[in-house]
Amino acid sequence: MRVPLLILTAILSSSSLPATDTGAAQWVRGAAADNGLDPAPLAALGADVRSGKFVKIGSVLIARHGKLVYEEYFDGNADTQRDTRSATKSITDILVGIAIDEGKLRGVEARVLALFPERQHGIRNPDPRKARITVEDLLTMSSPLECDDWNDASRGNEERMYLIEDWTQFVLDLPIRGRMYTGDTPPAPPYGRNFSYCTGGAFVLGEVLSRVTGMRADRYAEAKLFAPLGIHAVTWVYSPLGSPQTGGGLRLTSPDLLRIAQLYLNSGRWGGQQIVSAAWVKASTTPHARIDEATEYGYLWWLKSFGPAAHQVPAYFMSGNGGNKVLVIPELDMAAVITSTNYGTRGMHEQTERILNEYLLPAVSR
């Protein structure tokens, strides 16, 4: 997700959040070697980043067995807020899960258009299939709307949305997409869903949260997710009509991003508090759509295995333009953050995966 320069941002600083921690557990620090990590590959990583072998890497953090065991900053420091772009979408998934846990949203089968009755008349490109679009369709990037950020020609490409004042109306007005196929009948997609990456759909989920909770999505996040995690430095991007962009651009510090990953590694618990249900964590990180032969998609979380072919381990992760990744690797009881500002550059994600595959994972002694 690219954040356009014309969009205003606002900082939810410590003055608008509790000045002291709310009792949430803080990071316990530990030595890498004491937690099953070989320090040599990690030292090599730091040297290689600083030598220029890898470019525009901001930070690399690792938590193992619940302890912060590696923390390196190559640009900024622990207090620097990182623009991880579309990694925001996974946080939107957590908020949807909390709303369902609280009974404010009746479930992923809730129909989106029904929550906006004032918009049901006068929608462009009317089609009965629009009324059947569910929250799950938006969580899995598989709604029937013609919205594809990976296709510059798509009517729903996010760059076109940023030119419109009312982003929700922009998304709802989109036509139904079509797909060409070979043969007499279209092939059945994996998991029954055709994936199409759509930032606009993730934004609409923020508007859904506002409708069902009675709170703007950023305020809901502050009360239900960030404050319980002890996260106080937050910057959102806002639409022209003042809605938080739940599809991307949220800025958090690297240690706070690691808290989000550890929360999911802990099945939704932090500091003795169940912030989001374990059932939702499992549903979020279960495959619901396939992107390519190596990558699947949950509820706004990416699923992929990493490491050498003989020792690959499954992971789920938040991902954003620039090569940003916030990873959870349950098999290794490990969470990691890699931030980068290689925005819009070729090979940005491949560089991040090299760091994971050639340094972080080889450091683990299982």
183-199 residue pLDDT tens: 999 999 999 999 999 99
Find the mean pLDDT for residues 134-155. 98
Determine, yes or no, domain membership for 3: no
| CATH code, 57 | 3.40.710.10
Q: What is the pLDDT of residues 155-192, one digit of tens each?
A: 999 999 999 999 999 999 999 999 899 999 999 999 99
Domain that holds residue 350: 31-178+187-360
Q: Is the pLDDT of residue 7 over 60?
A: no
Domains identified in the chain, total number: 1
Find the mean pLDDT for residues 214-225. 98
Determine, yes or no, domain membership for 14: no
Cite the beta strand spans of the chain per DSSP E: 9-12, 28-29, 57-64, 67-73, 81-83, 234-237, 251-253, 269-270, 273-274, 289-292, 295-297, 302-306, 313-320, 324-329, 334-340
Determine, yes or no, domain membership for 19: no
Determine, yes or no, domain membership for 134: yes
Give the model's pLDDT for residue 15.
Answer: 28
Between CA 268 and CA 260 the distance in angstroms is: 9
Give the model's pLDDT for residue 5.
Answer: 39
Find the mean pLDDT for residues 123-141. 98
Determine, yes or no, domain membership for 11: no
Determine, yes or no, domain membership for 22: no
Find the mean pLDDT for residues 105-133. 96
In this prediction the pTM is: 0.93
Determine, yes or no, domain membership for 13: no
Q: In what order do the strands lie in the sheet with 251-253?
A: 9-12, 234-237, 251-253, 81-83
- Alpha carbon separation from 216 to 155, 209, 221, 254, 280 (Å, rounded): 27, 7, 9, 25, 22
Determine, yes or no, domain membership for 23: no
